Structure 1
Amino acid sequence: MMDLVDLSHPLDPERMSIPPGLPQLISCPIATVPKDGFSMHTVSFGSHTGTHIDAPSHFIADGKSIDQISLSALVGVALVLDFTHKGPKEVITWVDITQSPHADKIEPGIILLLHTGWSKYWAATGQIYWDHPYLSLDVAEQLIARGVSVIGVDCASPDRSLLEPPWDFPFHRSFLGHGGLIVENLTALGELQRPKVMVNLLPINLVGCDGAPVRGIAWK
């Protein structure tokens, strides 16, 4: 039996973090077994709801949409780097990356997962979930130069808090602008006991969309 770790938050309308002003998750029953003989729901959500992938078209006008991205880039070996020592709104620089244990394993084609521990604040009251650590622009540039095209974080964004200006999103624009893919709102990265693991981060195939939810899994 395979020992799997679920890297995605449940899509629960009653317990999740969604930035103010963005579409809320709505799941409504339209048929029930006692009444209709079968159960069915209508579901409505934004393309960047819960654990999800940002396609290049999220910020790049002519960038690839979710249905155009390479599936092979999202299934493979991932390298997990630990940044749980970083505090609220603290920056993670390329120097921090290089000084992290196992940074020497960053190589072309690897999926890089940054463990900040911030997923523990998912659905918390207040704005603590949005006060996550973030990545400096040089991290995006250096990763692209090294052939890394997929990065995942266990917080809301690799850029500064979504709730505070400036809303220029330099990491997004650089990484997505070079054809990279960003996975946000991951969870359970602390359960991965080895620095290198196999992961599957495939999104729903939403044609023409700039992002899509992911049911991410890892093999321990």
Structure 2
Amino acid sequence: MTRFIDLTQTFENGMPGFRMCDKAGQATEFTARIHPFLTHEESKPNYGGNASFEITEVHFQTSIGTYLDAPRHRHEGMGDIASLEISSLISHGIVIDARGCSPNTPLTAEDLPRADTLAGRAVLINFGWDRHWGAEEYYNFPYVDRRGLQHLLDSEISLFGVDALNADCPKDLERPAHTWFLKNNIHIVENLTGLEQLHGQAFRFFAIPLKVRGAAAFPIRAFAEIE
């Protein structure tokens, strides 16, 4: 029997997101606002009291929750979310156990499997950082160092995913994961959860957004199909 594992953080009102500071150090919080646009009570008169419906309104920035980056997110003029082929959003995956890493101890090239075992795969890094979701610790996260990222690039992976806020070290302003991977049409998924369930499993990884024209990134329903 096919088994599916949900790897998606719950998208909800007031959820945690990025923090972006301006030159004055003023932080902007990314989040979502979800509320009824039309309530059951408001819609009931339209149906003579025999039926009612709720219509929900949602406001959010696209880089929030468990989401996928399109090449346009980093490289102006490259493909947006709507341009991504469905076949590129589904691939055989491998999980790397990086739960021993910390913000001061990154994952290195030496910690990663051989290139021939990674080619064409969705490589998901299990830092275990999803345990801090919603807490201040989530904003100070582990990462893969530059040599490790280069190894993944050279291995020709199809997708790079992390259970952390960002695929890059926040101190590295070149943002090599985003710069290198997206330039080469290697997708990036951030804020995954539950990756420990995939250790030792053969699986396909699905990262499916809405087909949104002009979006540089978009939330997804990320899940694994156990093979």
Same fold (TM over 0.5): yes
Q: CA deviation at 1:105?
A: 6.0
3-state SS of 2:28 partner = coil
Q: Which residue of 2 aligns with 1:184?
A: 190
Give the structure-2-normalised TM-score.
Answer: 0.85
Identify the match of residue 42 of structure 1 among 57, 63, 74. 57
In 2, the alpha carbon distance for the partners of 1:10 and 1:155 equals: 15
Structure 1 unmatched runs, 5+ = none
The alignment of Structure 1 onto Structure 2 pairs a total of residues equal to 211
Correspondence list, 1:1-220, <5 A: 2-19=2-19, 20-36=27-43, 37-98=52-113, 103=114, 106-124=117-135, 126=136, 128-161=137-170, 165=171, 167-220=173-226
In 1, the alpha carbon distance for the partners of 2:116 and 2:154 equals: 15
In 1, the alpha carbon distance for the partners of 2:116 and 2:203 equals: 12
In 1, the alpha carbon distance for the partners of 2:17 and 2:215 equals: 21
Structure 2 unmatched runs, 5+ = 20-26, 44-51
1:137-157 CA-partner distances (Å, limit 9, x unpaired)? 223322222221311111111
Check whether the contact 2:89–2:206 (CA below 8 A) recurs between aligned residues. Answer: yes
CA RMSD of aligned residues (A): 1.9
Check whether the contact 2:7–2:194 (CA below 8 A) recurs between aligned residues. Answer: yes
3-state SS of 1:112 partner = strand
When Rg is computed on C-alpha atoms for both structures, the one with the higher figure is: 2
Give the structure-1-normalised TM-score.
Answer: 0.87
Q: CA deviation at 1:195?
A: 4.2
1:92-124 CA-partner distances (Å, limit 9, x unpaired)? 1212214xxxx5663321111111100111111
